[in-house]
Structure 1
Amino acid sequence: MSWWTPLVLLTVPALVMVVLQVLLYGLVAVVEGSDDPLATSLTPLKLLAVNVSIAVSGLLAVVLLTWTTGAPWRSLISWPRAFDVRRLVHHLLGAALMVAAGIGVVALVAPGSPGWTAFGISGTTVALLVVTVLTTPAQAAGEELMFRSVALPAAASWVRAVRPALVVGLVVSGLAFAAVHGSVDPWLAGYYTLIGVSTGLMAVLSGGIEAPVAFHVANNVLATVVNSVMADGGAVPLDRSVGAGDASLLVLVAVNVAMVVLVWAHERRRPGPARS
């Protein structure tokens, strides 16, 4: 790539995501009759707006990379092997178990830290659950396409030596992933960066995005489901301000690390170039 191409691939999809989300938030405010379209709490329509904007931006990132470099889009999904549905299912089951365990531990050691108020089921709750199940997998896949399939190799292209390039790709894509989540809280910013680096390692270790997509889907779906039913029947609070994070995030850090180890162990048992 030309030196400037990674900058385009890192910034344009993220900017499109933000602009599209703001526009959809404005439309949601009109539908809901809200006078604050940028309020942080997630209603069902706002959650839908977030998921759609990220999914579309992920596809845009792939189109931009294939257009600017001529790389086949399939190589951004898995390389040198073909996409493997069995890998996806295997890692999805493992991720779901580990994420569920992590959420359970957080509920025990710090029940108030994720912003939970009280258990409650209402029409809003049901709508949130429907939107989560139907569209959050597309949102998670969109983020993986944007940051692992595109941002990681784009940033790595600035460096010629393979291992330093891998480090640069992981760090830059991880920091970019954290930046778009818009939190200045040290705990949350560090945690988002760790997710970006961890899922990047999963992709590299397995030679494809099945494992990071599986982990991202399990994490986002389960977390949103729990947050929805613990919002006392209302919208899901979304607080990323300073002080919103705390040491309970170390439990989820451990879940990320465990998933990387699981992917590494699974790939070591499989034949093919993704083993090393």
Structure 2
Amino acid sequence: MTTPPPDDLGSPAPPPNPWTPPDSSADPWAAPPAPPTPPRDQRRAGWFASPPPGASYAQLARTSRHRWWRPIVGTLVVVVAWLLGAGLLMVVLARTASPEAGFDPDTLWPKNPTWALALSLATIAVALPAIWLAAIWVQRRRPGTLSSVAGRLRWRWLAHCLGPALVALLIAFTVYLALVPGEMRGVLTWNTTWTAFLTTAAVIVLLVPFQAAAEEYLTRGWLVQAAGAYLRTPWVGILLSAVVFAALHLPPNGWTWLAHGSLGVLLAWLTVRTGGLEAAIAYHTVNNLVVLLLEATAGPIDLSTVRAADWRSVVAELVGYAVFAWLVVRSARRHRVASVVAAEERSPRGHPAAA
């Protein structure tokens, strides 16, 4: 008789704390322990290597096939494949799109704001296959290990994180409106047509989930695990991913750097704490959907212009971040969400047990 496997929301026992090393005297800056090398016949049997049981999310790239050069070469593959994919997408759309898109033959960028919005989101989304390619081809591991310690995206847990994300955003908006009365009138004022709004809304709803997921797989996924392949502590990857995440948004001032950087730290910490990208993807997707849909009511959206933050918007956002973190951690404990790779159950003969 075998124990039923855990579902998307957890495991039969509370998960170990990923922040506590097995040996309290271990150097947090040292490399994580190397997983055992499989026998020669097993190494030849398949392409993929699995992370060892008990590995935290940050250490999922440290498999038996890990070598010092794989994260470095993999990062280069991600960048090159992403740029090539984005460029190819722009060329194809410039040659096949309808004339109303108004593609500039020199820049390959559309003058139509709706097409420009769609292309902006799509060129970010093409990072997803680039990241999966690097995991499969360079690191020789399943791309699902970028999603969570379960080796896949835990859809039920992601759905549970959508509610806290929406609650946190509503609280952040409320705090901001209390600090700056009337500041949101320009965003909340209807200044478009229903046809234009519905067209823009369709683009946002269809593409934002892929754009948000791509940013999460790149920063909280690839970068956190790349650093975790070398170091026992996850904090180097957390801080590195936060800096890259903030830089990708081209912040115009220090307050904007602080807003994006603090969000990057929070989402990366939650990723390691809950063992997967689900909470980060949920918050990022809900945030972008709400913000862009509100902006669409005021007319065309220009993502090339980054709105500068001030201390009041940062305070409001930090309150929302804290609420989201508290709700997610509380829910993760209640649902016993696994934060480390589960031990493989085996039959008395030593073979993996049947589910």
The structural deviation recorded for 1:16 is: 5.0
Contact 1:228 1:236 in 2 (8 A): no
**Alignment-derived partner of residue 102 in structure 2:** 33
The structural deviation recorded for 1:220 is: 0.8
Contact 1:21 1:50 in 2 (8 A): no
Taking structure 2 as the reference length, what is the TM-score of the superposition? 0.65
Matched residue SS, 2:306: coil
Say whether residues 1:69 and 2:135 are aligned partners: no
Contact 1:41 1:236 in 2 (8 A): no
The structural deviation recorded for 1:257 is: 2.5
Matched residue SS, 1:121: coil
The structural deviation recorded for 1:42 is: 8.7
The structural deviation recorded for 1:170 is: 0.3
Structure 1 counterpart of 2:336, which letter? P
Does the C-alpha gap of structure 1 residues 75 and 240 become closer, same or farther in structure 2, counting only changes over 3 Å? same
**Alignment-derived partner of residue 6 in structure 1:** 71
How many equivalent residue pairs? 267
Does the C-alpha gap of structure 1 residues 73 and 246 become closer, same or farther in structure 2, counting only changes over 3 Å? same
The structural deviation recorded for 1:174 is: 1.2
**Alignment-derived partner of residue 330 in structure 2:** 265
Of the candidates 125, 146, 149, which is equivalent to residue 218 of structure 2? 146
Structure 1 runs of 4+ with >6 Å offset? 38-42
Of the candidates 130, 133, 139, which is equivalent to residue 202 of structure 2? 130
The structural deviation recorded for 1:256 is: 1.8
Structure 2 counterpart of 1:73, which letter? P
Deviations 1:167-214 (A, max 9, x none): 111011111112222224212222222222211112111111111111
Percent identity over the alignment is: 24
**Alignment-derived partner of residue 121 in structure 2:** 51
Taking structure 1 as the reference length, what is the TM-score of the superposition? 0.81
Does the C-alpha gap of structure 1 residues 119 and 19 become closer, same or farther in structure 2, counting only changes over 3 Å? farther
Does the C-alpha gap of structure 1 residues 117 and 222 become closer, same or farther in structure 2, counting only changes over 3 Å? closer
The structural deviation recorded for 1:274 is: 2.3
**Alignment-derived partner of residue 78 in structure 1:** 148
In the alignment, the residues of structure 1 paired with residue 177 and residue 204 of structure 2 have an alpha-carbon distance, to the nearest angstrom, of 21
**Alignment-derived partner of residue 226 in structure 1:** 294
Say whether residues 1:206 and 2:274 are aligned partners: yes
**Alignment-derived partner of residue 245 in structure 1:** 309
Deviations 1:132-189 (A, max 9, x none): 1111111111111122221110122232xx22xx011101111111222222421222
Root-mean-square deviation over aligned CA pairs: 3.3
Of the candidates 242, 257, 262, which is equivalent to residue 189 of structure 1? 257
Structure 2 counterpart of 1:235, which letter? I
The structural deviation recorded for 1:22 is: 6.5
Does the C-alpha gap of structure 1 residues 237 and 138 become closer, same or farther in structure 2, counting only changes over 3 Å? closer
Structure 2 counterpart of 1:239, which letter? T
Matched residue SS, 1:274: coil
Larger deviation, residues 31-40 vs 134-143: 31-40
Contact 2:221 2:277 in 1 (8 A): yes
Does the C-alpha gap of structure 1 residues 41 and 191 become closer, same or farther in structure 2, counting only changes over 3 Å? farther
Contact 1:155 1:169 in 2 (8 A): yes
The structural deviation recorded for 1:39 is: 8.9
In the alignment, the residues of structure 2 paired with residue 11 and residue 254 of structure 1 have an alpha-carbon distance, to the nearest angstrom, of 37
Structure 1 counterpart of 2:305, which letter? D
Does the C-alpha gap of structure 1 residues 121 and 73 become closer, same or farther in structure 2, counting only changes over 3 Å? same
Higher percent of residues as helix: 1
Does the C-alpha gap of structure 1 residues 21 and 29 become closer, same or farther in structure 2, counting only changes over 3 Å? farther
Say whether residues 1:121 and 2:195 are aligned partners: no
Matched residue SS, 1:183: coil
Deviations 1:22-75 (A, max 9, x none): 676673897533669699999221221122222220221122023211122222
**Alignment-derived partner of residue 216 in structure 1:** 284
Does the C-alpha gap of structure 1 residues 265 and 117 become closer, same or farther in structure 2, counting only changes over 3 Å? closer
In the alignment, the residues of structure 1 paired with residue 270 and residue 111 of structure 2 have an alpha-carbon distance, to the nearest angstrom, of 31
Structure 1 counterpart of 2:206, which letter? L
Does the C-alpha gap of structure 1 residues 8 and 240 become closer, same or farther in structure 2, counting only changes over 3 Å? farther
Deviations 1:222-252 (A, max 9, x none): 11111111x2x333465337xx221112211
